[in-house]
Amino acid sequence: MTGERLLQVQDLTVRYQTQMGEIHAVSGVTFFVNKNEVFGIAGESGCGKSTLIRALMRLLPDNAKMSAQSIEYEGEELTRLSEAKFREKILWARMSLVPQSAMNSLNPVYRVGDQVVEAIRAPKNVTKSEAREPVTQLFDIVGLQPDLMKNFPHEFSGGMRQRAMIAMSLALDPGLVVMDEPTTGLDVLVQERILRRIREIRSQISSSIILITHDIAVIAEMSDRIAVMYGGQIMEQAPANDLFDTPCHPYTLGLKNAFPSIRNLQQKLISIPGSPPTLLGAPSSCPFLERCPFCVQQCSQRNPENITIQPLHEVRCVRHGEAPLLREKASEKETWRSLN
Ligand SMILES: Nc1ncnc2c1ncn2[C@@H]1O[C@H](COP(=O)(O)OP(=O)(O)OP(=O)(O)O)[C@@H](O)[C@H]1O
Ligand SMILES: [Mg+2]
């Protein structure tokens, strides 16, 4: 996979100041997204997925501090752009977001169609009637009947509101659309419908997509490449096939066991015992240490560095060289139970 680079993020870090201390929500994250690809980010609740993309879109709350060595988008270094320039040139127009719980983000007092019209009209400086035609097309792309444009958000189901938000994110034809948990909170049938729709949208638009979810089965089905996050770091990233056929990080092995695979529905589900770290203070050991059935002394002495084990396949684990053995052991329920 040697696609053309759209986005390259180097060493992105985000900390939140809280009364309890500094929360290291994202620590030294490096990844790229190519043109026309779906890059999936998976990981349990609280691992820093939303923080990572909010940092990228400069939508962090006031108690957050971010730093990055470089964020290059379409050849332009974004870290050098002022807030004002970023908002004017990049946000929504070239990089858009379907936020987590997007379906609750529509304004209840305006008609849904008018809200999407407004998303196009304001930055493009076109009249309401000029914006109506592209909005009709957007409704069509996300599978909403154009006559629903005159309805109010409360007249829409959760799935329809989610699709309206996806339409809104596509309004300015951005190069990158970030979807944060686009199916969470919807019932299974609606989830399936939204995913089918996202797949269809992919074939109709030229945007790349960053798809964020804690559901590894959804990620597997939708993504070209996948990053697995834990404790604010990317623990493993690889093309989707490599990640599922030859996972190397114990956390990826655990995640894979914990979700029904679309390729192997007969598989027994094994969950990872324990809970994620609090992220208070800088990581000085492997963050997965306490839940890892394969940890050795070295894991508590330092945070493992990121190793490229083959082109495009990177992993942060000192035992990456023993991956075939770990894979075999991880498929046994006993391996995970022994931690309790
Ligand atoms: N505004 C904030 N102030 C302080 N800490 C925060 C804030 N927002 C998030 N955090 C903390 O940062 C860490 C990462 O949170 P984040 O919301 O990015 O995770 P996530 O992977 O998106 O989780 P989820 O799957 O539940 O959406 C968590 O420990 C969370 O408690
Ligand atoms: Mg989130």
Contact status, residue 6 vs residue 33, Cβ threshold 8 Å? yes
Residue at 132 is within a domain: no
Ligand 1 pocket, residues with Cβ under 6 angstroms: 16, 18, 23, 25, 43, 45-51, 61, 63, 100, 214, 279
Could you tell me if residue 149 is inside a domain? no
pLDDT for residue 166 is more than 70 = yes
pLDDT given for residue 72 in this prediction: 98
Q: Which residues surround ligand 2, an ion (CB under 5 A)?
A: 49-50, 100
Task: Give the range of the structural domain holding residue 228, as residue numbers without chain letter.
Answer: 5-106+156-337
Minimum-distance ligand 1 atom for the alpha carbon of 18: 4
Instruction: Tell how far the Cα of 162 is from the centroid of ligand 1, in angstroms.
Output: 22
Higher pLDDT, residue 81 or 272: 81
Domain of 254: which CATH number?
3.40.50.300
Cα–Cα separations (whole angstroms), residue 267 to 246, 331, 334: 17, 10, 15
User: Where residue 255 falls among pLDDT bands split at 50, 70, 90?
Assistant: confident
Tell me whether residue 68 is in a domain: yes
Asked if the structure places residue 194 within a domain, the reply is: yes
On whether the pTM is more than 0.95, the answer is no
Residue 116 included in any domain: no
**Residue 265's pLDDT is what?**
52
Q: Answer whether residue 23 shows pLDDT above 60.
A: yes
Q: How confident is the model at residue 152 (pLDDT cuts 50, 70, 90)?
A: very high
Structural domains counted in the chain: 1
Judged by its nearest atom, the ligand closest to the C-alpha of residue 48 is 1
Ligand 1 centroid–CA 140 distance in Å is 34
The β-bridge partners of 90 are none
Report CA(297)–ligand 2 centroid distance (Å).
Answer: 32
Distance 110 CA to ligand 2 centre (A): 27
